[in-house]
Amino acid sequence: MRPERRSSRWPRLGAAAFLAAWAACWDSGTTPLPTESGTGPQPALVASVAIPANYGIHDTFVRNGLAFVCAWNAGVMIFDVGNGIQGGSPASPQLIATYVTAGGQTHNAWWFWNPGTGEKKYLFVGEEGPGTLGSSSSGDIHVLDVSDLRAPSEVAFFHLDGAGTHNFWMDESAQVLYAAYYNQGVVALDVSGSLTGDLSSRLIDSIRPGGAGSTYTWGVQLYNGSLYALDMLSGFWQLGVGGPNLSVLSGGNNVPERYSSDLAVANGFAYTGTWGSASRKTGVVGNVVKIWRLDTSGAPELRDSIVTPGIGTVSDVKVSPDGKLLMFSAELGTRAGFWFYSLQDPANPTFVATYPVPDGVHTAKFGTIGGRLYAFGAKDPSLPALLILDVTDIDR
Amino acid sequence: MIRVSAVALIGAWAPLASLPAQLTARLSGQGILIYTHADPVPGGGSLGEARLVQPILMLDLGALRQRLLFHVTADFEGWTIPNGELAPGDWGEGFVDRRHPHTYLHELILSTPDVLHRWDLPVQLSLSAGKGFVPFGSDDPMSRPVERFPVNHHWCQVLERAVGMAALQAGRVTVEAALFNGDEPERPSQAPNLSRFGDSWAGRVTLRPLIGLEWQTSAATVHSPESRGGAGTDTHLLSTSLRVERRAGRTHLYGFVEWGRASEANGTFVFHTVLAEAAVAAGRHRPYYRVERTERPEDARTLDPFRTVRPHLDNSILGIDRWSIHTAGYGVRFGAAADRLELQPFVEISYGRIAQVGAGLFDPTAVYGRATFWTASVGLRVGWGMDGHRMGRYGVPMEPMNMPGMSLSDRAP
Q: What angle do CA B202, B205, B210 make, to 5 degrees?
A: 155
Q: State whether B311 and A382 contact (CB < 8 Å).
A: yes
B219-253 pLDDT, tens digit each: 999 999 999 989 899 999 999 999 999 998 889 99
Q: Where are the beta strands (DSSP E) in A167-216?
A: 168-171, 176-180, 186-190, 197-198, 203-207
**Average pLDDT over every residue of A354-361:** 96
B403 pLDDT tier (thresholds 50, 70, 90): very low
The mean pLDDT value of chain A amounts to 91
Residues of B in contact with A332 (CB under 8 A): 302-303, 309
Buried b (16+ CB within 10 A) or exposed e, B141-168: bbbbbbbbbbbbbbbbbbbbbbbebbbb
> Which of A32-41, A346-355, B134-143 comes out lowest in average pLDDT?
A32-41
pTM for the predicted model, two decimal places: 0.90
Facing A333 at nearest CB: one of B303, B314, B380: B303
Closest CA to A247 of A185, A201, A203: A185
Distances (CA, A) of A192 to A68, A120, A207: 22, 12, 21
Contact (CB, 8 A) for A340 and A43: yes
Q: Give the model's pLDDT for residue A86.
A: 96
Cis peptide preceding A346, ω within 30 of 0: no
Percentages (nearest 5) of helix, strand, coil residues in chain A: 5, 45, 45
Closest CA to A269 of A289, A242, A241: A289
A52 pLDDT tier (thresholds 50, 70, 90): very high
Instruction: Reply yes or no on whether the pLDDT at A34 is more than 80.
Output: no
Q: Give the model's pLDDT for residue B118.
A: 85
The Cα of A244 is separated from the nearest Cα of chain B by a number of Å equal to 32
Residues of A in contact with B80 (CB under 8 A): 22, 26-27
A113-138 pLDDT, tens digit each: 999 999 999 999 999 999 999 999 99
Q: Give the model's pLDDT for residue A16.
A: 55
In angstroms, rounded to a whole number, what is the distance separating the alpha carbons of residues B133 and B111?
A: 13
Interchain CB contact of A27 with B (< 8 Å): yes
Instruction: Reply yes or no on whether the pLDDT at B298 is more than 90.
Output: yes
Distance of CA A216 to the CA centre of its chain: 15
B84-100 pLDDT, tens digit each: 999 999 999 999 999 99
DSSP β-bridge partners for residue A157: A142, A198
Q: Give the model's pLDDT for residue B338.
A: 52
Contact (CB, 8 A) for B188 and B77: yes
Q: Give the model's pLDDT for residue B5.
A: 45
A374 pLDDT tier (thresholds 50, 70, 90): very high
Residue of higher predicted confidence among B153 and B390: B153
Facing B380 at nearest CB: one of A18, A72, A138: A18
A392 pLDDT tier (thresholds 50, 70, 90): very high
Cis peptide preceding B311, ω within 30 of 0: yes
DSSP β-bridge partners for residue A48: A387
Q: CA Rg, chain B, in Å?
A: 21
In angstroms, rounded to a whole number, what is the distance separating the alpha carbons of residues B59 and B8?
A: 12
Instruction: Reply yes or no on whether the pLDDT at B411 is more than 70.
Output: no
In angstroms, rounded to a whole number, what is the distance separating the alpha carbons of residues B176 and B182?
A: 18
A277 pLDDT tier (thresholds 50, 70, 90): confident
Backbone angles phi, psi at B162, to 5 degrees: -75, 115
A13 pLDDT tier (thresholds 50, 70, 90): low
Q: Give the model's pLDDT for residue A396.
A: 79
In angstroms, rounded to a whole number, what is the distance separating the alpha carbons of residues A310 and A285?
A: 10
Percent of chain B, pLDDT > 70? Answer: 89
**Average pLDDT over every residue of A254-271:** 97
ipTM > 0.90, yes or no: no
The Cα of A84 is separated from the nearest Cα of chain B by a number of Å equal to 32
Q: Which alpha helices (H) appear in B14-148, and where do they start and end? A: 77-80
Domains of chain B: residue spans and CATH:
2-384 (2.40.160.10)
The mean pLDDT value of chain B amounts to 90
